[in-house]
Chains A and B, each alone.
Chain A
């Protein structure tokens, strides 16, 4: 009876109960942090690709944009870059055909768009949970003028 009502060692039992939950939370935080890092690197790569494309004369150089994006993120494994030209009638508006005539602007505003994506594996994985996550980042740059 005395053993049953004894409360010494209570903290140890509570600690043992919390430890697995706490461990999972910490590992999840580590996984998530690494993915945020990969996302930042992808955004940086897309930025570099779009910056390349917005330089006068590079507007139509789709492969150049892709290469610039891929070269800018050597730390991301399996990075794929997609580049395209976009035309709009208002800044940031919906896409129109390059040949269209815009009221007020005349010729459409030119943009380059670079999208980078990569399948990022988790550092810690558990059975039943998908360990890879596909991250995607898109950057638009307006082309100031063309030559």
Chain B
């Protein structure tokens, strides 16, 4: 009886058990930080890519010395993105109403990231931004 009682009231190994309980939650939090950091970086990259694309399009209208096309804007903007594959990048350039001086150009960049957080399986997060500029040249 005294041996069982001693075993029940024994507090040795308590820290180990607490660590085992907290570890999954801690890892969840830690890997969440990692994933979120990558996605945030992707958001910043998409913002800059749309900015650079819109800037290029705004000085390269169809009447300029080197007219830009949707493909050229996409190629330029894609330089600033860090997606795993180009199929995860969506770059849309729209001119309103046309690719001429005085119109506006909208460059929208979206990047899809696959994220894997413990216990939540694999999901994907899409981030993106767009920039609008008036065409001047």
Contacts and interface: CB of A to CB of B under 8 A. Distances in A.
B132 A71 contact: yes
Contact of A52 (B51, B131, B136): B136
Interface residues of A, number: 12
A74 B50 CA distance: 14
Task: Place the interface of chain B in its size category.
Answer: 10 to 19
Interface in B112-137: 131-134, 136-137
A69 B60 CA distance: 19
A48 B59 CA distance: 12
A67 B132 contact: no
Contact of A64 (B55, B133, B134): B134
A120 interface: no
Interface string A47-71: 0100110010010000010011001
Nearest to B105: A71
Interface string A29-60: 00000000000000010001001100100100
B136 A72 contact: no
Nearest to A74: B132
B68 to A, nearest CB: 16
A71 B104 contact: yes
B137 A72 contact: no
Contacts of B55: 51
Interface of B: 51, 55, 59, 104, 131-134, 136-137
14 contacts: A48-B134, A51-B55, A51-B136, A52-B134, A52-B136, A55-B59, A58-B136, A67-B134, A68-B133, A68-B134, A71-B134, A72-B131, A72-B133, A72-B134
Given A52-B136, A67-B134, A74-B132, 19 more contacts: A44-B51, A48-B132, A48-B133, A48-B134, A51-B55, A51-B136, A52-B134, A55-B59, A55-B137, A58-B136, A64-B134, A68-B133, A68-B134, A71-B104, A71-B133, A72-B131, A72-B132, A72-B133, A72-B134
Interface of A: 44, 48, 51-52, 55, 58, 64, 67-68, 71-72, 74
Closest 7 A/B residue pairs (Cβ): A68-B134, A55-B136, A71-B132, A71-B104, A72-B132, A52-B134, A52-B136
